[in-house]
Amino acid sequence: MTAETIVAVDTRINARWVIPIEPAGVVLDHHAVLLQGDRIAAVVPQSEADQHYRARQTLDLSNHVVMPGLINLHGHAAMSLFRGLADDLPLMTWLNDHIWPAEGKFVNSEFIADGTRLAIAEMLRTGTTTYSDMYFFPEVAADIAYDTGIRAQICFPLLDFPTMWGSGPDEYLAKGTDLINHWQGDSRIMPAIGPHAPYTVSDEPLRRAIQLASDTGVSVQLHLHETAFEITDALDKTGQRPIERLDKLGLLTSTTQCVHMTQVDDSDIQRLQSSGAHVIHCPESNLKLASGFCPTHTLAQAGINVAIGTDGAASNNDLDLFGELNTAAMIAKAVASDASALSAHQALAMATIQGARALGREHELGSLEAGKLADVIAVDLSDPFLQPVYDPVSHLVYSNHGRQVSHSWISGVPQVQEGRLTRIDVPDLMLRVSAWANRIQPGKSG
């Protein structure tokens, strides 16, 4: 670019620190992130931006980190309305005795709309710009996500038994095919297939899901190796570990997202390596349900892509992905008996570029690079209790809370400004949430 060249852009963000994620391990001081339309135009020193760029809007964020928006790769968004409903219980008791009965009684399209909007509000406010959802009435969830402007992978559920969304596998697959046909190719809404788990989906529906994924190219996300009981039960009934069964069926591919993976042996790692499947780590949910520990350091050393998710607010109980990164880093060190396992930089990568890789969209998302989609967040590190700031990356993972997110853009469109949501009517949403709480547990809300 010559000295005389002036480039017009929509937005200039001057930041104390820019963490581009790629190149890895880099922190840029006093740089500007320039947005044009729905893309990142450039990331340059502020002195170079002064010389070569003119922006319609300039934000001076002198105490902030600017970085890619976070990618929350697993959750059940509408379950935010069940937050705190059934705590301190093991997984199968939690599911069988509390969550599934509550779902049968309360979940309908209105529940999904309000619960999804509540989850999106929390995720946007804490830095998430892309999330993955696996829940009932996915067509409603997709519409809500689209209307609010967030980016979302919407996985339609597949189970052997009837639910409030369908009578069984035939209806789930038919509705899911409609979902894929409606949204495929959209920049923000990514339809996907969501078999619940190996213990709730038999071989024939899985084969049909595999064929649908092959025909359409969409991803498959499922809960896998979440508990020790899941493994022993499968071995007793089939003589195979669940991942072995899925591999033989043809489900493990480079578009498969394996959620949890707390029970991992060498044969599991070999199957993940050879298939190119991704692992989605949900550390806080796994801790709360006492499900086990995903060996993220071992998986990373084996070259397996590991992304991160919060799981649903009923088993977490928040959707703050920065908090999840803190927990993930701490667990990794303890499990590996190595304080250098999952460094702060590596943790941020897990919630950005590695999440984008699991979605097959690393060429568009997950780092601040010219030409990529403008999914950007700013985090304010001026709080007195975050001082002094020797290393902003360390602060983001070990000291920060997601509420320090001050700004957010998705495809260049502001979603959070000065800590305020721009596209969600929070007072109206709170009235709806309160009404649901009074229905679910009369007299106990508020």
**pLDDT tens string 307-337:** 999 999 988 999 999 999 999 999 999 999 9
Q: Confidence class of residue 1 from pLDDT cuts 50, 70 and 90? A: low
Residue 444's pLDDT is 59
Indicate whether 239 belongs to any domain. Answer: yes
Q: Confidence class of residue 60 from pLDDT cuts 50, 70 and 90? A: very high
Each residue's pLDDT tens digit, 145-179: 999 999 999 999 999 999 999 999 999 999 999 99
Q: Which pTM value belongs to this model?
A: 0.96
Whether residue 26 is predicted with pLDDT greater than 90 in this model: the reply is: yes
Average pLDDT over residues 414-432: 97
Q: Confidence class of residue 128 from pLDDT cuts 50, 70 and 90? A: very high
286 and 335 together in one domain: yes
Indicate whether 390 belongs to any domain. Answer: yes
User: SS3 string of the chain?
Assistant: CCCCCCEEEEEEEEEEEECCCCCCCCCEEEEEEEEECCEEEEEEEHHHHHHHEEEEEEEEEEEEEEEECEEECCCCHHHHHHCCCCCCCCHHHHHHHHHHHHHHHHCCHHHHHHHHHHHHHHHHHCCEEEEEEECCCHHHHHHHHHHHCCEEEEEEEECCCCECCECCHHHHHHHHHHHHHHHCCCCCEEEEEEECCCCCCCHHHHHHHHHHHHHHCCCEEEEECCCHHHHHHHHHHHCCCHHHHHHHHCCCCCCEEEEECCCCCHHHHHHHHHHCCEEEECHHHHHHCCCCCCCHHHHHHCCCCEEECCCCHHHCCCCCHHHHHHHHHHHHHHHHCCCCCCCHHHHHHHCCHHHHHHCCCCCCCCCCCCCCECCEEEEECCCHHHCCCCCHHHHHHHHCCHHHEEEEEECCEEEEECCEECCCCHHHHHHHHHHHHHHHCCCCCC
Whether residue 2 is predicted with pLDDT greater than 60 in this model: the reply is: no
Indicate whether 426 belongs to any domain. Answer: no
Indicate whether 434 belongs to any domain. Answer: no
The CATH number linked to 233 is: 3.20.20.140
80 and 173 together in one domain: yes
Residue 183's pLDDT is 98
Average pLDDT over residues 429-442: 93
Q: Confidence class of residue 443 from pLDDT cuts 50, 70 and 90? A: low
The CATH number linked to 24 is: 2.30.40.10
Q: Chain-wide mean pLDDT for the chain? A: 96
374 and 314 together in one domain: no
Containing structural domain, residue 137: 70-358
281 and 398 together in one domain: no
